[in-house]
Structure 1
Amino acid sequence: MSSKVAIVTGSNKGIGFAIVRGLCKRFEGNVYLTSRDVRRGEQAVADLQKEGLNPKYHQLDITNAKSVEVFRDYLKEKYGGIDVLVNNAAIAFKGNATEPVAVQAEQTLFVNYFSTLSTCEILFPILRDGARVVNVSSSAGHLSNIPSKRLRDRLQDPTLTISELSGLMRDYVEAAKLGTQAAEWGNSSYVVSKVGLTALTKIQQRLLNDRDIKVNAVHPGYVDTDMSSHKGPLSIDDGAQAPLYLALDAPDSVRGEFVWYNKKIVSWADDKPTEKY
Protein backbone atom coordinates (compact mmCIF):
# COMPACT_ATOMS: atom_id res chain seq x y z
CA MET A 1 0.00 0.00 0.00
CA SER A 2 2.96 2.33 0.54
CA SER A 3 4.34 2.25 -3.01
CA LYS A 4 3.94 5.49 -4.94
CA VAL A 5 2.06 5.48 -8.23
CA ALA A 6 1.91 7.74 -11.30
CA ILE A 7 -0.76 7.59 -14.01
CA VAL A 8 -0.66 8.94 -17.57
CA THR A 9 -3.92 8.87 -19.55
CA GLY A 10 -3.86 8.25 -23.29
CA SER A 11 -0.24 7.14 -23.23
CA ASN A 12 0.23 4.38 -25.79
CA LYS A 13 1.78 6.86 -28.26
CA GLY A 14 2.91 10.46 -28.73
CA ILE A 15 3.60 12.82 -25.85
CA GLY A 16 1.83 10.54 -23.35
CA PHE A 17 4.16 7.67 -24.27
CA ALA A 18 7.20 9.91 -23.82
CA ILE A 19 5.91 11.11 -20.42
CA VAL A 20 5.62 7.47 -19.31
CA ARG A 21 9.17 6.88 -20.57
CA GLY A 22 10.46 9.85 -18.58
CA LEU A 23 8.58 8.87 -15.43
CA CYS A 24 9.89 5.30 -15.64
CA LYS A 25 13.44 6.67 -15.64
CA ARG A 26 13.00 8.97 -12.65
CA PHE A 27 9.80 8.43 -10.64
CA GLU A 28 10.32 6.46 -7.43
CA GLY A 29 7.29 4.22 -7.71
CA ASN A 30 5.09 2.45 -10.24
CA VAL A 31 4.15 4.15 -13.51
CA TYR A 32 0.97 3.22 -15.36
CA LEU A 33 0.71 3.48 -19.13
CA THR A 34 -2.98 3.51 -20.05
CA SER A 35 -4.94 3.32 -23.30
CA ARG A 36 -8.42 2.62 -24.63
CA ASP A 37 -7.14 -0.21 -26.83
CA VAL A 38 -5.53 -3.01 -24.79
CA ARG A 39 -3.48 -4.39 -27.70
CA ARG A 40 -1.92 -1.01 -28.48
CA GLY A 41 -1.26 -0.35 -24.82
CA GLU A 42 0.45 -3.69 -24.28
CA GLN A 43 2.55 -3.12 -27.39
CA ALA A 44 3.63 0.27 -26.03
CA VAL A 45 4.62 -1.36 -22.74
CA ALA A 46 6.61 -3.99 -24.66
CA ASP A 47 8.40 -1.23 -26.59
CA LEU A 48 9.45 0.46 -23.34
CA GLN A 49 10.52 -2.87 -21.85
CA LYS A 50 12.94 -3.21 -24.78
CA GLU A 51 14.52 0.01 -23.51
CA GLY A 52 14.99 -1.57 -20.08
CA LEU A 53 12.03 0.29 -18.56
CA ASN A 54 9.19 -1.31 -16.63
CA PRO A 55 5.84 0.50 -16.85
CA LYS A 56 2.67 -1.16 -15.63
CA TYR A 57 -0.40 -1.30 -17.85
CA HIS A 58 -4.11 -0.79 -17.26
CA GLN A 59 -6.91 -0.25 -19.74
CA LEU A 60 -8.50 3.19 -19.41
CA ASP A 61 -11.04 4.96 -21.60
CA ILE A 62 -11.65 8.42 -20.17
CA THR A 63 -14.91 8.70 -22.14
CA ASN A 64 -16.32 5.72 -20.24
CA ALA A 65 -17.04 6.40 -16.56
CA LYS A 66 -17.20 2.67 -15.79
CA SER A 67 -13.68 2.18 -17.19
CA VAL A 68 -12.39 5.01 -14.97
CA GLU A 69 -14.21 3.61 -11.92
CA VAL A 70 -12.70 0.15 -12.46
CA PHE A 71 -9.23 1.72 -12.63
CA ARG A 72 -9.91 3.84 -9.53
CA ASP A 73 -10.99 0.80 -7.53
CA TYR A 74 -7.90 -1.12 -8.68
CA LEU A 75 -5.57 1.73 -7.69
CA LYS A 76 -7.30 2.24 -4.36
CA GLU A 77 -7.01 -1.44 -3.44
CA LYS A 78 -3.44 -1.89 -4.68
CA TYR A 79 -1.85 1.43 -3.70
CA GLY A 80 -4.31 3.31 -1.50
CA GLY A 81 -4.05 6.47 -3.59
CA ILE A 82 -2.45 8.34 -6.51
CA ASP A 83 0.70 10.48 -6.32
CA VAL A 84 0.94 11.80 -9.89
CA LEU A 85 -1.87 12.10 -12.44
CA VAL A 86 -1.12 13.34 -15.97
CA ASN A 87 -4.32 14.07 -17.92
CA ASN A 88 -2.99 13.67 -21.44
CA ALA A 89 -5.76 11.88 -23.38
CA ALA A 90 -7.30 14.13 -26.04
CA ILE A 91 -8.48 14.28 -29.64
CA ALA A 92 -8.17 16.82 -32.44
CA PHE A 93 -9.85 16.91 -35.83
CA LYS A 94 -7.50 17.54 -38.75
CA GLY A 95 -7.62 20.91 -40.48
CA ASN A 96 -9.13 19.27 -43.56
CA ALA A 97 -11.73 17.27 -41.61
CA THR A 98 -15.05 17.00 -43.44
CA GLU A 99 -17.23 16.58 -40.34
CA PRO A 100 -19.60 19.52 -39.74
CA VAL A 101 -18.54 22.12 -37.16
CA ALA A 102 -21.36 20.97 -34.88
CA VAL A 103 -20.01 17.40 -34.85
CA GLN A 104 -16.45 18.54 -34.30
CA ALA A 105 -17.54 20.79 -31.44
CA GLU A 106 -19.56 18.12 -29.67
CA GLN A 107 -16.97 15.36 -29.99
CA THR A 108 -13.93 17.53 -29.18
CA LEU A 109 -15.50 19.06 -26.09
CA PHE A 110 -16.84 15.67 -24.98
CA VAL A 111 -13.37 14.13 -24.91
CA ASN A 112 -11.01 16.99 -24.13
CA TYR A 113 -13.13 18.82 -21.55
CA PHE A 114 -16.08 16.80 -20.27
CA SER A 115 -14.37 13.38 -20.19
CA THR A 116 -11.24 14.81 -18.59
CA LEU A 117 -13.46 16.49 -16.01
CA SER A 118 -15.37 13.29 -15.24
CA THR A 119 -12.10 11.37 -14.97
CA CYS A 120 -10.85 13.93 -12.46
CA GLU A 121 -14.09 13.75 -10.49
CA ILE A 122 -13.69 9.97 -10.22
CA LEU A 123 -9.95 9.90 -9.48
CA PHE A 124 -9.44 13.07 -7.40
CA PRO A 125 -10.93 11.57 -4.21
CA ILE A 126 -8.02 9.09 -4.11
CA LEU A 127 -5.28 11.66 -4.76
CA ARG A 128 -2.89 11.59 -1.83
CA ASP A 129 -2.25 14.83 0.02
CA GLY A 130 0.68 16.50 -1.74
CA ALA A 131 -0.07 14.83 -5.07
CA ARG A 132 0.64 16.47 -8.43
CA VAL A 133 -1.82 16.77 -11.32
CA VAL A 134 -0.68 17.83 -14.79
CA ASN A 135 -3.35 18.81 -17.31
CA VAL A 136 -1.85 18.67 -20.79
CA SER A 137 -3.21 21.76 -22.51
CA SER A 138 -1.77 23.55 -25.55
CA SER A 139 -0.79 26.97 -26.84
CA ALA A 140 -4.36 26.74 -28.18
CA GLY A 141 -5.46 26.79 -24.54
CA HIS A 142 -4.22 30.34 -24.00
CA LEU A 143 -7.07 32.69 -23.12
CA SER A 144 -6.06 35.18 -25.84
CA ASN A 145 -7.43 32.73 -28.42
CA ILE A 146 -11.02 33.57 -27.36
CA PRO A 147 -12.22 36.67 -29.30
CA SER A 148 -14.89 37.82 -26.84
CA LYS A 149 -13.74 40.01 -23.94
CA ARG A 150 -16.94 39.08 -22.09
CA LEU A 151 -16.04 35.40 -22.30
CA ARG A 152 -12.39 35.99 -21.45
CA ASP A 153 -13.42 37.90 -18.33
CA ARG A 154 -15.85 35.16 -17.37
CA LEU A 155 -13.35 32.36 -17.92
CA GLN A 156 -10.73 33.99 -15.70
CA ASP A 157 -13.18 35.06 -12.99
CA PRO A 158 -11.62 33.82 -9.70
CA THR A 159 -15.09 32.87 -8.43
CA LEU A 160 -15.98 30.75 -11.49
CA THR A 161 -17.24 27.28 -10.49
CA ILE A 162 -16.83 24.02 -12.37
CA SER A 163 -20.57 23.92 -12.93
CA GLU A 164 -20.51 27.40 -14.45
CA LEU A 165 -17.48 26.56 -16.61
CA SER A 166 -19.21 23.43 -17.89
CA GLY A 167 -22.22 25.58 -18.72
CA LEU A 168 -20.01 27.84 -20.83
CA MET A 169 -18.57 24.81 -22.64
CA ARG A 170 -22.12 23.60 -23.37
CA ASP A 171 -23.00 27.09 -24.60
CA TYR A 172 -20.18 26.82 -27.12
CA VAL A 173 -21.40 23.45 -28.41
CA GLU A 174 -24.92 24.83 -28.81
CA ALA A 175 -23.60 27.92 -30.62
CA ALA A 176 -21.62 25.66 -32.96
CA LYS A 177 -24.79 23.72 -33.75
CA LEU A 178 -26.49 27.00 -34.65
CA GLY A 179 -23.46 28.24 -36.58
CA THR A 180 -23.17 31.33 -34.36
CA GLN A 181 -19.98 30.45 -32.47
CA ALA A 182 -17.33 32.29 -34.48
CA ALA A 183 -17.84 35.87 -33.28
CA GLU A 184 -17.38 35.10 -29.58
CA TRP A 185 -15.58 31.76 -29.51
CA GLY A 186 -13.59 31.67 -32.74
CA ASN A 187 -13.52 28.83 -35.24
CA SER A 188 -11.63 26.08 -33.42
CA SER A 189 -13.29 23.50 -31.17
CA TYR A 190 -9.82 22.37 -30.12
CA VAL A 191 -9.03 25.90 -28.89
CA VAL A 192 -12.24 26.04 -26.84
CA SER A 193 -11.62 22.57 -25.37
CA LYS A 194 -8.09 23.47 -24.26
CA VAL A 195 -9.10 26.92 -22.96
CA GLY A 196 -11.77 25.07 -20.98
CA LEU A 197 -9.18 22.63 -19.63
CA THR A 198 -6.88 25.46 -18.57
CA ALA A 199 -9.75 27.30 -16.87
CA LEU A 200 -10.65 24.02 -15.14
CA THR A 201 -7.06 23.74 -13.88
CA LYS A 202 -7.37 27.08 -12.09
CA ILE A 203 -10.60 26.02 -10.38
CA GLN A 204 -9.26 22.58 -9.42
CA GLN A 205 -6.27 24.21 -7.74
CA ARG A 206 -8.54 26.40 -5.63
CA LEU A 207 -10.56 23.36 -4.56
CA LEU A 208 -7.51 21.22 -3.69
CA ASN A 209 -5.16 23.84 -2.26
CA ASP A 210 -5.82 22.94 1.36
CA ARG A 211 -4.60 19.38 0.67
CA ASP A 212 -1.27 20.65 -0.73
CA ILE A 213 -2.15 19.16 -4.13
CA LYS A 214 -0.55 20.92 -7.10
CA VAL A 215 -2.63 21.21 -10.29
CA ASN A 216 -1.05 22.85 -13.34
CA ALA A 217 -1.75 23.13 -17.07
CA VAL A 218 1.04 22.81 -19.61
CA HIS A 219 1.65 23.61 -23.27
CA PRO A 220 4.07 20.83 -24.30
CA GLY A 221 5.13 22.51 -27.54
CA TYR A 222 4.41 21.80 -31.19
CA VAL A 223 5.39 18.15 -31.34
CA ASP A 224 5.77 15.64 -34.16
CA THR A 225 2.75 13.43 -33.39
CA ASP A 226 -0.30 11.96 -35.12
CA MET A 227 -2.31 14.85 -33.65
CA SER A 228 -0.12 17.47 -35.34
CA SER A 229 -0.11 15.45 -38.60
CA HIS A 230 3.63 15.09 -37.88
CA LYS A 231 4.21 18.78 -38.66
CA GLY A 232 5.61 19.72 -35.25
CA PRO A 233 9.38 20.38 -35.08
CA LEU A 234 9.77 18.93 -31.57
CA SER A 235 10.23 15.25 -30.72
CA ILE A 236 7.85 13.51 -28.32
CA ASP A 237 10.64 13.49 -25.72
CA ASP A 238 10.97 17.28 -26.15
CA GLY A 239 7.22 17.55 -25.62
CA ALA A 240 7.43 15.50 -22.43
CA GLN A 241 9.93 17.84 -20.75
CA ALA A 242 7.55 20.46 -19.34
CA PRO A 243 4.93 17.90 -18.20
CA LEU A 244 7.70 15.91 -16.48
CA TYR A 245 8.97 19.10 -14.84
CA LEU A 246 5.53 19.70 -13.35
CA ALA A 247 5.13 16.05 -12.31
CA LEU A 248 8.54 15.72 -10.67
CA ASP A 249 10.61 18.87 -10.29
CA ALA A 250 8.61 22.10 -10.06
CA PRO A 251 8.72 23.88 -6.69
CA ASP A 252 5.65 23.32 -4.53
CA SER A 253 4.84 27.00 -5.05
CA VAL A 254 3.97 26.27 -8.70
CA ARG A 255 0.24 25.61 -8.52
CA GLY A 256 -2.71 26.60 -10.67
CA GLU A 257 -0.31 27.87 -13.34
CA PHE A 258 -0.13 27.74 -17.13
CA VAL A 259 3.36 26.54 -18.04
CA TRP A 260 4.99 26.84 -21.46
CA TYR A 261 6.99 24.06 -23.13
CA ASN A 262 10.24 25.71 -21.91
CA LYS A 263 9.08 25.25 -18.28
CA LYS A 264 8.38 28.96 -17.83
CA ILE A 265 5.18 30.10 -16.12
CA VAL A 266 3.25 32.36 -18.49
CA SER A 267 0.31 34.64 -17.87
CA TRP A 268 -2.83 32.91 -19.10
CA ALA A 269 -4.77 36.12 -19.50
CA ASP A 270 -2.17 38.46 -21.03
CA ASP A 271 -0.60 38.29 -24.48
CA LYS A 272 0.49 34.85 -25.59
CA PRO A 273 4.28 34.26 -25.46
CA THR A 274 6.02 34.89 -28.77
CA GLU A 275 8.50 32.03 -28.41
CA LYS A 276 8.26 29.44 -31.14
CA TYR A 277 6.47 26.11 -30.76
Structure 2
Amino acid sequence: MASKVAVVTGANKGIGFAIVRGLCKRFEGHLPYLTARDEERGKKAVADLEKEGLNPKFHQLDVTDKKSLEVFRDYIKSNYGGIDILVNNAAIAFKNDAPEPAAVQAEQTLFVNYFTLVSTCDILFPILKNGARVINLSSALGHLSNIPSPALRDRLKDEKLTVEELSSLMQQYVDAVNQGTHAADWGNSSYNVSKVGVTALSNIQQRLLNDRDIKVNSVHPGYVATDMTTHKGPMSIDEGAIATVYLALDAPDSVRGKYVWFNKEIVDWTGEMPKEFC
Protein backbone atom coordinates (compact mmCIF):
# COMPACT_ATOMS: atom_id res chain seq x y z
CA MET A 1 0.00 0.00 0.00
CA ALA A 2 1.39 3.43 -0.96
CA SER A 3 2.31 5.65 1.96
CA LYS A 4 -0.19 8.34 2.82
CA VAL A 5 0.94 11.93 3.38
CA ALA A 6 -0.25 14.11 6.26
CA VAL A 7 0.73 17.79 6.41
CA VAL A 8 0.53 20.02 9.49
CA THR A 9 1.22 23.74 9.11
CA GLY A 10 2.87 25.85 11.81
CA ALA A 11 3.98 22.72 13.61
CA ASN A 12 7.33 23.44 15.25
CA LYS A 13 5.67 24.05 18.64
CA GLY A 14 2.38 24.01 20.52
CA ILE A 15 -0.70 22.22 19.29
CA GLY A 16 0.74 21.74 15.80
CA PHE A 17 3.76 19.95 17.24
CA ALA A 18 1.49 17.70 19.32
CA ILE A 19 -0.68 16.93 16.29
CA VAL A 20 2.39 15.72 14.43
CA ARG A 21 3.35 13.64 17.46
CA GLY A 22 -0.12 12.12 17.59
CA LEU A 23 -0.09 11.34 13.88
CA CYS A 24 3.37 9.76 14.12
CA LYS A 25 2.17 7.43 16.86
CA ARG A 26 -0.88 6.36 14.87
CA PHE A 27 0.28 6.77 11.28
CA GLU A 28 2.93 4.05 11.19
CA GLY A 29 4.25 3.35 7.73
CA HIS A 30 2.97 6.66 6.45
CA LEU A 31 4.43 10.16 6.19
CA PRO A 32 3.48 12.93 8.62
CA TYR A 33 5.07 16.20 7.49
CA LEU A 34 5.93 18.76 10.14
CA THR A 35 6.12 22.12 8.38
CA ALA A 36 7.35 25.41 9.81
CA ARG A 37 8.26 28.86 8.58
CA ASP A 38 11.63 28.79 10.37
CA GLU A 39 13.73 25.93 9.03
CA GLU A 40 16.02 25.73 12.08
CA ARG A 41 13.12 25.55 14.53
CA GLY A 42 11.31 23.05 12.34
CA LYS A 43 14.29 20.73 12.12
CA LYS A 44 14.80 20.97 15.88
CA ALA A 45 11.16 19.98 16.42
CA VAL A 46 11.66 16.96 14.17
CA ALA A 47 14.83 16.04 16.06
CA ASP A 48 12.90 16.25 19.36
CA LEU A 49 10.28 13.84 18.03
CA GLU A 50 12.97 11.52 16.71
CA LYS A 51 14.35 11.32 20.25
CA GLU A 52 10.93 9.89 21.20
CA GLY A 53 11.35 7.18 18.57
CA LEU A 54 9.03 8.89 16.07
CA ASN A 55 9.74 9.57 12.41
CA PRO A 56 8.18 12.75 11.06
CA LYS A 57 9.35 14.38 7.86
CA PHE A 58 10.20 18.07 7.59
CA HIS A 59 9.70 20.69 4.92
CA GLN A 60 10.01 24.43 5.25
CA LEU A 61 6.68 26.17 4.63
CA ASP A 62 5.73 29.78 5.21
CA VAL A 63 1.99 29.86 4.62
CA THR A 64 2.06 33.66 4.28
CA ASP A 65 4.37 33.35 1.25
CA LYS A 66 2.77 32.22 -2.02
CA LYS A 67 6.12 31.13 -3.46
CA SER A 68 6.84 28.97 -0.41
CA LEU A 69 3.43 27.33 -0.77
CA GLU A 70 4.01 26.65 -4.45
CA VAL A 71 7.45 25.13 -3.81
CA PHE A 72 5.94 22.86 -1.15
CA ARG A 73 3.00 21.90 -3.38
CA ASP A 74 5.31 20.96 -6.23
CA TYR A 75 7.56 18.94 -3.91
CA ILE A 76 4.67 16.92 -2.49
CA LYS A 77 3.05 16.41 -5.88
CA SER A 78 6.25 15.22 -7.56
CA ASN A 79 7.28 12.91 -4.71
CA TYR A 80 3.94 11.54 -3.48
CA GLY A 81 1.24 12.55 -5.90
CA GLY A 82 -0.72 14.54 -3.34
CA ILE A 83 -1.91 15.00 0.22
CA ASP A 84 -4.17 12.64 2.20
CA ILE A 85 -4.49 14.71 5.39
CA LEU A 86 -4.10 18.50 5.64
CA VAL A 87 -4.15 20.19 9.04
CA ASN A 88 -4.26 23.97 8.77
CA ASN A 89 -2.91 24.94 12.18
CA ALA A 90 -0.74 28.02 11.59
CA ALA A 91 -2.17 31.14 13.25
CA ILE A 92 -1.31 34.17 15.38
CA ALA A 93 -2.88 35.97 18.32
CA PHE A 94 -1.94 39.31 19.84
CA LYS A 95 -1.69 39.44 23.63
CA ASN A 96 -4.21 41.54 25.55
CA ASP A 97 -1.54 44.09 26.37
CA ALA A 98 -0.05 44.23 22.86
CA PRO A 99 1.06 47.79 22.02
CA GLU A 100 0.06 47.65 18.36
CA PRO A 101 -2.98 49.78 17.41
CA ALA A 102 -6.27 47.95 16.93
CA ALA A 103 -6.16 48.57 13.18
CA VAL A 104 -2.75 46.92 12.89
CA GLN A 105 -3.85 43.97 15.00
CA ALA A 106 -6.97 43.52 12.87
CA GLU A 107 -5.09 43.63 9.59
CA GLN A 108 -2.35 41.24 10.67
CA THR A 109 -4.64 38.80 12.51
CA LEU A 110 -7.09 38.52 9.63
CA PHE A 111 -4.24 38.26 7.12
CA VAL A 112 -2.57 35.31 8.85
CA ASN A 113 -5.55 33.51 10.33
CA TYR A 114 -8.08 33.94 7.54
CA PHE A 115 -6.72 35.30 4.25
CA THR A 116 -3.57 33.18 4.41
CA LEU A 117 -5.73 30.10 5.05
CA VAL A 118 -7.70 30.90 1.90
CA SER A 119 -4.52 31.18 -0.18
CA THR A 120 -3.04 28.04 1.40
CA CYS A 121 -6.13 26.07 0.42
CA ASP A 122 -6.23 27.61 -3.06
CA ILE A 123 -2.71 26.31 -3.66
CA LEU A 124 -2.85 22.96 -1.85
CA PHE A 125 -6.43 21.80 -2.46
CA PRO A 126 -5.74 20.85 -6.10
CA ILE A 127 -3.30 18.17 -4.88
CA LEU A 128 -5.62 16.74 -2.24
CA LYS A 129 -6.28 13.11 -3.08
CA ASN A 130 -9.87 12.02 -3.48
CA GLY A 131 -11.10 10.98 -0.04
CA ALA A 132 -8.65 13.30 1.76
CA ARG A 133 -9.36 14.89 5.10
CA VAL A 134 -8.87 18.57 5.93
CA ILE A 135 -8.93 19.93 9.47
CA ASN A 136 -8.94 23.68 9.99
CA LEU A 137 -7.98 24.78 13.50
CA SER A 138 -10.65 27.14 14.77
CA SER A 139 -11.50 27.94 18.39
CA ALA A 140 -14.39 28.26 20.82
CA LEU A 141 -14.02 31.92 19.89
CA GLY A 142 -14.84 30.89 16.32
CA HIS A 143 -18.42 30.07 17.37
CA LEU A 144 -20.96 32.19 15.49
CA SER A 145 -22.41 33.52 18.76
CA ASN A 146 -19.27 35.65 19.14
CA ILE A 147 -20.58 37.98 16.40
CA PRO A 148 -23.02 40.49 17.97
CA SER A 149 -24.90 41.50 14.80
CA PRO A 150 -27.87 39.26 13.89
CA ALA A 151 -27.58 40.43 10.27
CA LEU A 152 -23.93 39.42 10.09
CA ARG A 153 -24.67 36.08 11.72
CA ASP A 154 -27.33 35.45 9.09
CA ARG A 155 -24.86 36.24 6.31
CA LEU A 156 -22.13 34.05 7.78
CA LYS A 157 -24.39 31.02 8.15
CA ASP A 158 -26.02 31.42 4.73
CA GLU A 159 -25.59 28.10 2.91
CA LYS A 160 -25.16 29.96 -0.37
CA LEU A 161 -22.28 32.11 0.93
CA THR A 162 -19.22 31.94 -1.32
CA VAL A 163 -15.55 32.20 -0.39
CA GLU A 164 -15.38 35.52 -2.22
CA GLU A 165 -18.35 36.88 -0.26
CA LEU A 166 -16.91 35.64 3.02
CA SER A 167 -13.56 37.25 2.24
CA SER A 168 -15.38 40.49 1.50
CA LEU A 169 -17.04 40.32 4.92
CA MET A 170 -13.68 39.70 6.59
CA GLN A 171 -12.23 42.72 4.77
CA GLN A 172 -15.24 44.79 5.84
CA TYR A 173 -14.29 44.00 9.43
CA VAL A 174 -10.70 45.18 8.88
CA ASP A 175 -12.01 48.37 7.26
CA ALA A 176 -14.46 48.94 10.11
CA VAL A 177 -11.66 48.67 12.67
CA ASN A 178 -9.71 51.26 10.69
CA GLN A 179 -12.74 53.54 10.90
CA GLY A 180 -13.46 52.71 14.54
CA THR A 181 -16.97 51.48 13.70
CA HIS A 182 -16.56 47.74 14.29
CA ALA A 183 -17.57 47.10 17.90
CA ALA A 184 -21.37 47.10 17.65
CA ASP A 185 -21.54 44.62 14.78
CA TRP A 186 -18.35 42.59 15.11
CA GLY A 187 -17.24 42.89 18.72
CA ASN A 188 -13.77 43.94 19.83
CA SER A 189 -11.67 40.84 19.13
CA SER A 190 -9.88 40.40 15.82
CA TYR A 191 -8.95 36.87 16.87
CA ASN A 192 -12.65 36.01 17.37
CA VAL A 193 -13.55 37.37 13.94
CA SER A 194 -10.68 35.54 12.26
CA LYS A 195 -11.71 32.22 13.78
CA VAL A 196 -15.38 32.75 12.93
CA GLY A 197 -14.06 33.24 9.41
CA VAL A 198 -12.15 29.95 9.62
CA THR A 199 -15.27 28.06 10.70
CA ALA A 200 -17.44 29.67 8.03
CA LEU A 201 -14.77 28.97 5.39
CA SER A 202 -14.65 25.31 6.41
CA ASN A 203 -18.40 25.01 5.83
CA ILE A 204 -18.10 26.52 2.35
CA GLN A 205 -15.11 24.33 1.47
CA GLN A 206 -17.06 21.20 2.36
CA ARG A 207 -19.83 22.15 -0.07
CA LEU A 208 -17.25 22.74 -2.80
CA LEU A 209 -15.41 19.45 -2.22
CA ASN A 210 -18.28 17.02 -1.74
CA ASP A 211 -17.89 15.68 -5.28
CA ARG A 212 -14.33 14.54 -4.46
CA ASP A 213 -15.38 12.82 -1.21
CA ILE A 214 -13.09 15.16 0.74
CA LYS A 215 -14.00 15.74 4.36
CA VAL A 216 -13.47 19.27 5.72
CA ASN A 217 -14.04 20.03 9.39
CA SER A 218 -13.12 22.82 11.80
CA VAL A 219 -12.09 22.08 15.37
CA HIS A 220 -11.90 23.83 18.72
CA PRO A 221 -8.86 22.15 20.31
CA GLY A 222 -9.62 23.38 23.84
CA TYR A 223 -7.97 25.96 26.06
CA VAL A 224 -4.41 24.74 25.78
CA ALA A 225 -1.22 25.88 27.51
CA THR A 226 0.74 27.33 24.59
CA ASP A 227 2.64 30.49 23.77
CA MET A 228 -0.56 31.80 22.19
CA THR A 229 -2.44 31.56 25.50
CA THR A 230 0.61 32.66 27.54
CA HIS A 231 0.50 29.10 28.92
CA LYS A 232 -2.69 29.83 30.87
CA GLY A 233 -4.78 27.04 29.39
CA PRO A 234 -5.40 24.01 31.64
CA MET A 235 -4.95 21.49 28.82
CA SER A 236 -1.64 20.09 27.59
CA ILE A 237 -0.70 20.33 23.94
CA ASP A 238 -1.23 16.58 23.56
CA GLU A 239 -4.75 16.93 24.97
CA GLY A 240 -5.30 19.78 22.53
CA ALA A 241 -4.33 17.53 19.63
CA ILE A 242 -6.81 14.74 20.41
CA ALA A 243 -9.81 16.02 18.43
CA THR A 244 -7.71 16.87 15.38
CA VAL A 245 -6.04 13.44 15.29
CA TYR A 246 -9.49 11.89 15.67
CA LEU A 247 -10.79 13.83 12.68
CA ALA A 248 -7.69 12.96 10.67
CA LEU A 249 -7.71 9.22 11.31
CA ASP A 250 -10.76 7.92 13.13
CA ALA A 251 -13.90 9.96 12.49
CA PRO A 252 -16.52 8.26 10.31
CA ASP A 253 -16.84 9.59 6.77
CA SER A 254 -20.19 11.09 7.73
CA VAL A 255 -18.37 13.70 9.82
CA ARG A 256 -17.90 16.42 7.22
CA GLY A 257 -18.57 20.14 7.26
CA LYS A 258 -18.78 20.01 11.06
CA TYR A 259 -17.57 22.19 13.93
CA VAL A 260 -16.00 19.78 16.39
CA TRP A 261 -15.20 20.40 20.05
CA PHE A 262 -12.02 19.32 21.85
CA ASN A 263 -13.87 16.27 23.24
CA LYS A 264 -14.77 15.06 19.71
CA GLU A 265 -18.39 16.19 20.07
CA ILE A 266 -20.04 17.88 17.10
CA VAL A 267 -21.28 21.34 18.08
CA ASP A 268 -23.98 23.38 16.38
CA TRP A 269 -22.02 26.38 15.11
CA THR A 270 -25.18 28.45 14.78
CA GLY A 271 -26.70 27.43 18.13
CA GLU A 272 -25.75 28.05 21.73
CA MET A 273 -22.14 28.09 22.78
CA PRO A 274 -21.30 24.99 24.85
CA LYS A 275 -20.55 25.88 28.46
CA GLU A 276 -17.53 23.61 28.58
CA PHE A 277 -14.53 25.19 26.85
CA CYS A 278 -11.94 22.62 27.91
Bucket of the pairwise TM-score, normalised by the shorter protein? over 0.9
Structure 2 counterpart of 1:20, one-letter code: V
Aligned match of 1:201: 202
Task: Provide Cα deviations, 1:164-186, integer angstroms capped at 9, x if missing partner.
Answer: 00000000000000111000000
User: SS where residue 91 of structure 2 aligns?
Assistant: coil
User: SS where residue 221 of structure 1 aligns?
Assistant: coil
Alpha-carbon separation, structure 2, partners of 1:27 and 1:215: 19
Deviation at 1:2, TM superposition (A): 3.2
Aligned match of 1:17: 17
Deviation at 1:98, TM superposition (A): 1.1
Deviation at 1:24, TM superposition (A): 0.5
Structure 1 residues 276, 164: closer, same or farther in 2, change over 3 A?
closer
Aligned match of 1:120: 121
Equivalent residues in 2 for 1:64-213 (5 A)?
Answer: 64-213=65-214
Structure 2 counterpart of 1:21, one-letter code: R
Task: Provide Cα deviations, 1:30-76, integer angstroms capped at 9, x if missing partner.
Answer: 01001000000000000000000010000000000100000000000
Deviation at 1:110, TM superposition (A): 0.2
| Aligned pairs, number | 277
Structure 1 residues 53, 92: closer, same or farther in 2, change over 3 A?
same
User: SS where residue 58 of structure 1 aligns?
Assistant: strand
- The TM-score with structure 1 as length reference comes to 0.99
Equivalent residues in 2 for 1:205-244 (5 A)?
Answer: 205-244=206-245
Alpha-carbon separation, structure 2, partners of 1:238 and 1:22: 10
Task: Provide Cα deviations, 1:139-197, integer angstroms capped at 9, x if missing partner.
Answer: 01000000000000000000000000000000000000011100000000000000000
Aligned match of 2:39: 38
User: SS where residue 7 of structure 1 aligns?
Assistant: strand
Task: Provide Cα deviations, 1:83-127, integer angstroms capped at 9, x if missing partner.
Answer: 000000000000111111100000000000000110000000000
Structure 2 counterpart of 1:97, one-letter code: A
Alpha-carbon separation, structure 1, partners of 2:265 and 2:87: 18
Structure 1 counterpart of 2:186, one-letter code: W
> Runs of 5+ in structure 2 lacking a partner?
none
Alpha-carbon separation, structure 1, partners of 2:245 and 2:267: 17
Contact 2:140–2:277 under 8 Å retained in 1: no
User: SS where residue 217 of structure 2 aligns?
Assistant: strand
> Runs of 5+ in structure 1 lacking a partner?
none
